[in-house]
Amino acid sequence: MSSAEDTTDRNKTEPLADDARVDLDAVFEESQIQEVFDQLDRDLVGLTPVKTRIREIAALLLVDHVRRQFDLASDTPTLHMCFTGNPGTGKTTVAERMAQILHKLEYVREGHLVSVTRDDLVGQYIGHTAPKTKEVIKRAMGGVLFIDEAYYLYRPENERDYGQESIEILLQVMENQRDDLVVILAGYKDRMDRFFESNPGFRSRIAHHVDFPDYDVGELCSISELMLAEQHYVFSDDAQMAFEDYIDRRMRQPYFANARSIRNALDRLRLRQAARLFKAGGAVTKKQLMTIEAEDVLASRVFGLPVESRSSD
């Protein structure tokens, strides 16, 4: 027997006996994916249906891992996914945590996330698209490729568009190299539905569709407090009530982007607070430097505009 054959033989794992027992709790603990779930809970408020679905996918992979120990051979589960929902609902964050889970369960080699849009994949002239798409795929191999607003890859109204070339390359890789790359498509649900209707090859390769709901006012208030705490700011009691009113008004205006809009709003609150303190002059305390007051919130134009206004302030 050659050295290579001897090494291969030693590394073979004999299947468990039919009457053997495997402790699923122990397998779960050994996988260390609970820490990823914990981090997901810290990162994102709410999203219970999404977190439940991610846990279900993890359970599928854990059970598949145990099945292999009993020599219950099956094809590698199809893990390509579609995340649908409005902006600011946590799709990219969940994709990052999904990459970590897949790595811990040994379904991808490295567990990194490569996040791209159409511009990263599609070229502007003949012969430009294939190299761009293949370079992105090369970077993503061994991990997860996250394509945001994936429907922009398909532009049938433009006969000279090269998105279809990128789509064909992606479809081939998703089928032939699914044991080394997981692709997650993301975007608005209605647009993704139309995209799948026009590109049935994609739909047949997507095993998991996860819809991300919008946050409600209470969840957005909690998110705002967490974001402020990260920057060592707090709301005064009056400011907290005013900001809840702000969120309610802002949610009913166009172009609201959930947590993304909240982050932008908080940046403007910090700006107003700084301007207020500087205008007042004199000595300041630590508490004053940390506290967002109601006047910082109520200065927003949202309070003086009708609901249908397109203000983003």
Number of domains in the chain: 2
Residue with tokens 């609970």: 34
CA 60 to chain centre: 20
Range of the domain at 204: 19-212
| Domain shared by 142 and 223, yes or no | no
Residue 259 in contact with residue 89, Cβ under 8 Å? yes
pLDDT at 307: 53
DSSP string, the chain: --HHHHHHHHH--PPPPTT----HHHHHHHHT-HHHHHHHHHH-S--HHHHHHHHHHHHHHHHHHHHHHTT---PPPP--EEEEE-TTSSHHHHHHHHHHHHHHTTSSSS--EEEE-HHHH--SSTTTHHHHHHHHHHHHTTSEEEEETGGGG--TT-TT--HHHHHHHHHHHHHHTTTT-EEEEEE-HHHHHHHHHH-HHHHHH--EEEEEPPP-HHHHHHHHHHHHHHTT-EE-HHHHHHHHHHHHHHHTSTT--HHHHHHHHHHHHHHHHHHHHHHH-S---HHHHHEEPHHHHHTSGGGGS-TT-----
pLDDT at 67: 84
| Domain shared by 200 and 71, yes or no | yes
Which domain CATH number covers 129? 3.40.50.300
| Domain shared by 100 and 225, yes or no | no
Which domain CATH number covers 266? 1.10.8.60
| Domain shared by 165 and 221, yes or no | no
| Domain shared by 138 and 161, yes or no | yes
For residue 6, is it within any domain? Answer: no
Q: Which of 191, 212, 233 is the last residue of a domain?
A: 212
Rg for the chain (alpha carbons), in Å?
A: 24
pLDDT at 20: 75
Q: What is the mean pLDDT of each run of 10 residues along the chain (313 residues)?
A: 41 66 84 91 91 92 84 80 95 94 90 95 88 95 96 81 90 91 95 92 91 95 95 97 96 92 96 96 95 96 67 48
For residue 197, is it within any domain? Answer: yes
Buried b / exposed e over 145-174, threshold 16 CB at 10 Å, is bbbbbbbbbbeeeeeebbbebbbebbbebb
Q: Which of 156, 179, 212 is the last residue of a domain?
A: 212
pLDDT at 304: 80
Q: What's the token pair of residue 77?
A: 């589960």
For residue 5, is it within any domain? Answer: no
| Domain shared by 103 and 235, yes or no | no
| Domain shared by 121 and 193, yes or no | yes
pLDDT at 76: 73
CA 23 to chain centre: 31
Which residues, 6 or more positions from 7, have their beta carbon under 8 angstroms from its beta carbon?
Answer: none
For residue 8, is it within any domain? Answer: no
Q: Which of 212, 235, 266 is the last residue of a domain?
A: 212
- The interaxial angle of helices 91-104 and 34-43, nearest 10 deg, is 170
| Domain shared by 199 and 58, yes or no | yes
pLDDT at 308: 52
Q: How far is CA 43 from CA 51, 86, 92, in A?
A: 12, 18, 11
